[in-house]
Amino acid sequence: TIVLNNPRRRNALSLPMLQSLRRDLLHDIKSRELRVIVIAAEGPVFCSGHDLKELSSEDDVKHHSQVFELCAEVMTLIQKLPVPVIAKVNGLATAAGCQLVASCDIAVASEKSQFATPGVNIGLFCSTPAVALGRSLPRKVALEMLFTGEPLSAQEALMHGLVSKVVPENKLEEETMKISQKICESSKSVLALGKATFYRQITQDLDTAYKMTTKVMVDNLTLRDGQEGIEAFIQKRKPVWSH
């Protein structure tokens, strides 16, 4: 579990916070024991997005570029990791914080959570959050969020696919752990292959996607755990994964 822990600054994705998040995401990533990463936060705000003090005219273009480039690197890193990443959201997620939720593989939110991209209201359109939002939400829903800055409730976020589950606040930890434990029952190598393939095929046309995934299915059968799973099913026993 990685916890965003700067509630006094609304867990803003400052340059140090982004550097820390990247470091923590990569920590022990090759460990056989690491199976799931959960991103959570302290305080009433999950993440407010960029630290606007870093984006003032007091800093130069080079610094601004560094902030946005590192943020994009962290968001894309999440989908490149070989284990599933779950956002556990209990509160407000705005701008790049909303982008972080949209970039995770799974998102579980409490009923009080809200999601918004209000950059337009301060003259800084949420163009980078729009990349993740536009790939998670229907286009017109994403654009309404981006054009108006108005928040989605947790239930609206669920209805439109920004989050995968909404639960009462007192059930958030339990539900997140339930999903995590279910993931841990599967082969790490099979999940890694499946996650990488999913994100590759999602941007391809139908024929290319089927051609690529057909080959991956064959490759999956060459994995030790691919054969173990099939043999266990035929023999009516629980598989013993090598990961």
More confident call, 90 vs 53: 90
pLDDT for 57 equals: 73
CATH topology of domain 2-184: 2-enoyl-CoA Hydratase; Chain A, domain 1 (3.90.226)
Let me know if domain 187-235 sits in CATH 1.10.12.10. yes
Spatial distance between the Cα atoms of 107 and 41, rounded to a whole number of angstroms: 13
Average pLDDT of the residues of the chain: 97
Per-residue pLDDT tens digits for 213-235: 999 999 999 999 999 999 999 99
What is the arrangement of strands in the sheet containing 114-116, beginning at the earlier edge strand? 45-47, 92-94, 114-116, 152-153
Domain boundaries, the chain: 2-184, 187-235
Per-residue pLDDT tens digits for 180-217: 999 999 999 999 999 999 999 999 999 999 999 999 99
In degrees, to the nearest 5, what angle opens at C-alpha 46 toward C-alphas 42 and 108?
Answer: 105
Q: How far is CA 110 from CA 46, 91, 97, 106, 169, in A?
A: 11, 7, 16, 14, 5
Per-residue pLDDT tens digits for 17-75: 999 999 999 999 999 899 999 999 999 999 999 999 888 877 688 989 999 999 999 99
Decide: pTM greater than 0.85. yes
Say if CB 119 and CB 95 are below 8 A apart.
Answer: yes
DSSP code per residue over 48-66:
--S-GGGGSTTS-HHHHHH
